[in-house]
Chain A
Amino acid sequence: AQKVTQAQTEISVVEKEDVTLDCVYETRDTTYYLFWYKQPPSGELVFLIRRNSFDEQNEISGRYSWNFQKSTSSFNFTITASQVVDSAVYFCALQSFAGAQKLVFGQGTRLTINP
């Protein structure tokens, strides 16, 4: 069975601080995708990143960076120099590689950036 665990239910930091959101997953598949989504108060899911299981290179996109470590089954997300607009719920998700497979979401981490 596939499972995604986001142990941090809520995180609150002051603006400009760096913050890391943890994601640990379980799967028996050898190939899979990992995702991060942002859900602002409006409710719409915003796609942030997709990572293939065979690509362990870390990725940086502006203030966002992702650390994928297959050895520990983790796919952590770091926001550098956080801003109030980063406040949202962030979901980590897992999907089997082949075909139109369902996404398994973690419980989500509610991030609040205080001015």
Chain B
Amino acid sequence: GAVVSQHPSWVICKSGTSVKIECRSLDFQATTMFWYRQFPKQSLMLMATSNEGSKATYEQGVEKDKFLINHASLTLSTLTVTSAHPEDSSFYICSAYSGRGEDTQYFGPGTRLTVL
């Protein structure tokens, strides 16, 4: 089956620092990756769609300059939370889409970010 990994699984940082989260498709090439954010006891909200080799498409209300997304290869997308603040503390989940005719996204295990 298709496996997606995320690193780190959890991170604690000080306010004002930047944090990078990696999303990797381990056994398939992902033409598209998605980044979701989930606050405690809430649903998953799409932040952005990341296509390999092109700029990410951000959902309305998501700050592009704060949440930098890079999809430099077909197996790796990164989300960088710049100048993180306590309100950015959340569970970040990525998913990858192979584009091989399967219309199913494969989800990573998530990264829990806590900003002090």
Chain A window 15-59, contacts with chain B (Cβ cutoff 8 Å), 1 for yes, 0 for no: 000000000000000000100010000111101001000000000
Residue of A nearest to B9 (CB): A43
Is B109 in contact with A43, judged by CB distance below 8 angstroms? yes
Residues of B contacting A: mostly: strand
What 1/0 mask marks residues of chain A from 72 to 115 whose CB sits below 8 Å from any chain B CB? Answer: 00000000000000000001000101011111111110100000
20 more A-B residue pairs beyond the given contacts A107-B42, A108-B42, with a C-beta to C-beta distance below 8 A: A33-B103, A37-B107, A43-B109, A43-B110, A43-B112, A44-B110, A45-B107, A50-B103, A91-B44, A95-B103, A99-B103, A100-B49, A100-B97, A100-B105, A102-B49, A103-B46, A105-B44, A105-B45, A108-B43, A110-B41
21 CB-based A-B contacts, threshold 8 Å: A33-B103, A42-B109, A43-B112, A44-B110, A45-B44, A45-B107, A47-B104, A47-B107, A50-B104, A91-B43, A95-B105, A97-B103, A100-B31, A100-B97, A101-B103, A102-B46, A103-B34, A103-B46, A103-B105, A105-B45, A108-B42
